[in-house]
A and B are shown apart, each in its own frame.
Chain A
């Protein structure tokens, strides 16, 4: 069993603390959703794992050993980010060819099949690709890398709805055939809500949630009805936030959903991942 572990990772940029004592374990063969608002530290964390940035303290371990510049450990991962780190003049087909050179598990036939399916012209220079096709190009590299851990930072950036749909389907198909660990950081939470198995929520450089999606969704609920009834009901409970519309109010509450002792006129529902995320990371 492979595992990827962050131990006490802290990182500052000048006076700004980007990550504060992060401890996390990513297990083999699971799809993780890494959620956080802009500037929460998602990209910093992924780049530290892939040694594109170096932490001020802490270490990243692969299979129990500090990665610390180990090619084998780094080779078990593949990171793609918003930015393009490929040389200006390189063409897509050359990038595929070189990828084959550097990573023996890369599957060029699969990469070409995906390029075909997405309509990515492999004769084009990488820098001349549109935002959407640049994302597609990087996603193809990641999916075809066959790395046990793929780190996807905003993989669907600039993709239209059809291509996003295709991307998730190809990813799930590949995952079903041979499971890998994917850590997906994205703002389009609704779309990955059913794809991910485990959710990590990061806020201001700290991990505030790290649990299976189902248990996370079970950890809160919303209750709506007349404002005073709702308020009476939630008093003494942990309220994340409220939405009011005239005398009608919805409160978002943490805790187990009380199915039975529910006052008349109140309606209880499960929160979806997006709503729960917004409530947990507000303010």
Chain B
């Protein structure tokens, strides 16, 4: 896992998303332990309060849960929940900006569709 933060969004939100990516990619399988707040904050030179804030987003969404005295673990079914969540965001995050850029460049929907097919087969 490597985080490269941009300044566009608050850092704790970016951390939460990066942890989600880790879970989606299988780097943190379900029922496995994720790094502690200390490990995360030391690794990324981030204030522990900020790291905790990011982790808490996942706790609130039931993506991870706390085992008392042991640490944070990925919930069972977290991957499925995350996929649903990401899918629902997909239109807002990717399609909208794709469409607006396409309009600026006069690319038609059909052309985009071809490109998408090409992207999938690559």
Chains A and B share a contact (CB less than 8 Å): yes
In the assembly, what is the distance between CA of A271 and CA of B43, in Å? 24
Number of interface residues of A (CB under 8 A): 22
Number of interface residues of B (CB under 8 A): 19
A269 contacts which chain B residues (CB < 8 A)? 7-8
Q: A217-B10, A269-B8, A272-B7 are contacts. A194–B45 as well, Cβ < 8 Å?
A: yes
Which residue of chain B has the shortest Cβ distance to A272 in the bound complex? B7
Question: A172 contacts the other chain (Cβ, under 8 Å)?
Answer: yes
Q: A269-B8, A270-B8 are contacts. A176–B41 as well, Cβ < 8 Å?
A: yes
A-B contact count (CB 8 A): 50
B42 close to A176 (CB less than 8 A): yes
B47 close to A197 (CB less than 8 A): yes
In the assembly, what is the distance between CA of A175 and CA of B8, in Å? 27
Contact with B along A213-246 (1 / 0, CB 8 A): 1100110000000000000000000000000000
Q: Name the residue among B44, B45, B50 with the largest chain A CB count within 10 angstroms.
A: B45
A271 contacts which chain B residues (CB < 8 A)? 7
A213 contacts which chain B residues (CB < 8 A)? 47
Q: A172-B42, A173-B42 are contacts. A270–B48 as well, Cβ < 8 Å?
A: no
Given A197-B49, A272-B7, 17 more contacts at CB 8 Å?
A: A31-B47, A165-B45, A168-B45, A169-B43, A172-B41, A172-B42, A172-B47, A173-B38, A173-B42, A176-B37, A176-B41, A194-B5, A194-B11, A194-B46, A195-B46, A214-B10, A214-B12
Q: Return 14 A-B CB contacts under 8 Å, by A number.
A: A168-B45, A169-B42, A169-B45, A175-B48, A176-B41, A194-B11, A194-B44, A195-B47, A196-B47, A213-B47, A214-B10, A218-B10, A270-B8, A271-B7
